[in-house]
């Protein structure tokens, strides 16, 4: 099995099966939103797109960040801790972030695309293995110098190839990463509890495939079938 790695600047070249990784925090927050009942998540690039789409859809709310903080008009930020405080049953979320959703939007040549993070790692692997892949591309949305997404790619690659992993080694890498340093107990949008939630490996039994439908990128929670 061959593995390729891309960042935001070149992920338009990624083809075939593409896993877009954002551990801190977009695609961890997305998974926790699904656990609170969200119907689907539509991924967009800009704040204006998010707000426009929110106004056009019934029962829709905007979720995400600019520079880590929720923009004006957004209902939720980018924090798993905060999203768990809400009942999202039946809600369509429109998500815009500075890294994760940008990777999904830019991966225009992907044939199969999934959003992923540690919390959905095993389900993502099971979903992809059923496709009998010979090549998998990772989009490291946080960049190669910010270790939390690189750690997730390393973890997934080892799991795909049947190597033994020590999960806590990867958790430690996330906690030591650049973006982890922003999280403080007293910060409402960067609570320290987010770090534990984002490194809860295999917290959920669903993968998060992204499909292009009528010009939209739509993510749903899908449990791999036997």
**Could you count the other beta carbons within 10 Å of the beta carbon of residue 214?**
5
Q: What is the pLDDT of residue 190?
A: 86
| Residue ranges of E strands in 55-105 | 60-64, 92-96
Task: Tell me: pLDDT of 226 over 70.
Answer: no
Query: pLDDT band for position 189 (50/70/90)?
Result: confident
The token pair at 204 is 């959920």
- Residues 139-174 pLDDT 10s: 999 999 989 999 999 999 999 999 999 999 999 999
What is this structure's pTM? 0.96
Task: Tell me: pLDDT of 70 over 70.
Answer: yes
57 three-class SS: coil
Query: What is the residue whose two structure tokens read 């801190």?
Result: 24
Distance CA 184, CA 7 (A): 27
Q: What is the pLDDT of residue 217?
A: 98
In degrees and rounded to multiples of 5, residue 128 shows phi and psi of -70, -40
Check if the beta carbon of residue 76 is closer than 8 Å to that of residue 62.
yes
Task: Tell me: pLDDT of 43 over 90.
Answer: yes
The token pair at 11 is 């992920």
Task: Tell me: pLDDT of 184 over 80.
Answer: no
Q: What is the pLDDT of residue 179?
A: 86
Check if the beta carbon of residue 144 is closer than 8 Å to that of residue 7.
yes
């Amino acid at each position: 099995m061959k593995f390729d790695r891309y960042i935001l600047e070149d992920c338009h070249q990624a083809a075939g099966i593409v896993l877009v990784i954002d551990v801190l925090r977009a695609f961890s927050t997305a998974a926790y939103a699904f656990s609170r009942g969200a119907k689907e998540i539509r991924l967009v690039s800009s704040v204006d797109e998010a707000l426009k789409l929110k106004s056009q859809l019934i029962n829709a709310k905007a979720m995400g960040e600019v520079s880590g903080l929720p923009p004006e008009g957004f209902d939720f930020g980018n924090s798993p801790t905060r999203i768990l405080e809400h009942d999202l049953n039946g809600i369509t979320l429109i998500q815009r972030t500075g890294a994760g959703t940008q990777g999904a939007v830019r991966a225009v040549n992907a044939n199969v695309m999934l959003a992923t993070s540690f919390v959905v790692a095993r389900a993502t692997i099971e979903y992809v293995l059923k496709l009998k892949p010979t090549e998998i591309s990772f989009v490291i949305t946080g960049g190669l110098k910010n270790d939390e997404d690189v750690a997730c790619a390393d973890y997934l690659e080892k799991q795909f190839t049947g190597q033994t992993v020590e999960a806590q080694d990867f958790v430690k890498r996330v906690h030591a990463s650049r973006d982890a340093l922003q999280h403080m107990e007293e910060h409402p949008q960067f609570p320290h509890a987010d770090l534990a939630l984002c490194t809860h490996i295999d917290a959920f039994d669903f993968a998060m495939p992204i499909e292009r439908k009528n010009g939209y990128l739509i993510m749903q929670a899908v449990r791999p079938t036997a």
